[in-house]
Amino acid sequence: MIGLAVAAVFALGSFVQVVAGFGSALVIMPVLTQFVGIRTAASVLALTSAAVSVTVLYQNRSGLRWREATWLMASAAVGVPLGTLALKQLPAAPVVALLGLVLLGYGLYSLALLWRGAEDSNEDAADPAANGGTRAGRLGAVVAGFCAGLLGGAYATDGPPLVIYGAVRRWPKDAFRSILQACFLLDGVLIVLCHGAGGLVTRDVLVYCLYGVPGMAVGLLLGTWLDPHIDRKVFHRLLIGLILALGAGLLASAAWAR
């Protein structure tokens, strides 16, 4: 029964990733945690999510900005091992609670963009400094990348800092999707290596991956097929509501565990 739930969660997450360009980890991780625990969920997600990033990156490869992506990925590489160490050493309840706070924070940030009428800021004209060529651009990329790596190593949830950074820099849609997927792909490889070295990739993790991969494939196919027919503004608002609900649920479960 748990295996079927894992497959369904990955189908939903990969569908969201194809349509929105991000969000698979934000959906998969909090739900999966309820079934298999935070440490197992993080390793399962890290092992199975690379294919989603490869697919979406290939679809949006023309918009990739290598200079800015390089700064983000290099700083993420520093954060991933530190996040993995936190996942391994800290008790489960505080880690779950912190993940809930991350989701709520990102959801509230997205709501603020909605209220300002800027939910599609990544589709506006690009910031002239968005290529990361200025000192401020490089510093912002380093901070965002490091935070993404830290969250990725701990929760396999590296998206929120990157999404917020992309919105602030006002990336066009193709650049937004391609830079995110390039970062997700590298982070995913580093997370798998760090989790493996830390003994977090167990037999249970590998078994659950066997359920997650078919579910992910179903979500990818459905997302690719339905993507042209989906109202993105409505979908984005539904996704924000789901992220807020999942964050609140994680906080409640962490409090209950105590």
Mean pLDDT for 236-253 is 82
- Cα–Cα dist 145/9, whole Å: 27
Does the pTM exceed 0.95?
A: no
Determine the pLDDT at residue 118. Answer: 57
Q: Which of 34-43, 101-110, 113-122, 222-231 has the lowest mean pLDDT?
A: 113-122
Determine the pLDDT at residue 75. Answer: 93
Determine the pLDDT at residue 63. Answer: 60
Summarised one tens digit per residue, pLDDT across range 94-134 is 878 888 888 888 888 888 887 876 554 444 444 444 445 56
Summarised one tens digit per residue, pLDDT across range 155-209 is 888 888 888 888 777 777 667 777 877 888 888 888 888 998 988 889 999 999 9
Mean pLDDT for 10-16 is 88
Residue holding tokens 């830290």? 150
Of residues 62 and 206, more confidently modeled: 206
Query: What value, to the nearest 5°, has the Cα angle with vertex 195 and ends 251 and 144?
Result: 65
> Cα separations (Å) of 198 from 73, 89, 156?
21, 10, 15
- Cα–Cα dist 181/195, whole Å: 20
Say yes or no to pLDDT of 71 above 50. yes
Say yes or no to pLDDT of 222 above 50. yes
Contact 52, 12 (CB under 8 A): no
Mean pLDDT for 229-250 is 82
Say yes or no to pLDDT of 257 above 60. no
Amino acid identity, residue 90? L
- In the chain, the percentage of residues whose pLDDT exceeds 90 is 16
Determine the pLDDT at residue 66. Answer: 74
- Residue-level length of the chain: 258
Contact 184, 53 (CB under 8 A): yes
- Pair of tokens at residue 201: 């990739």
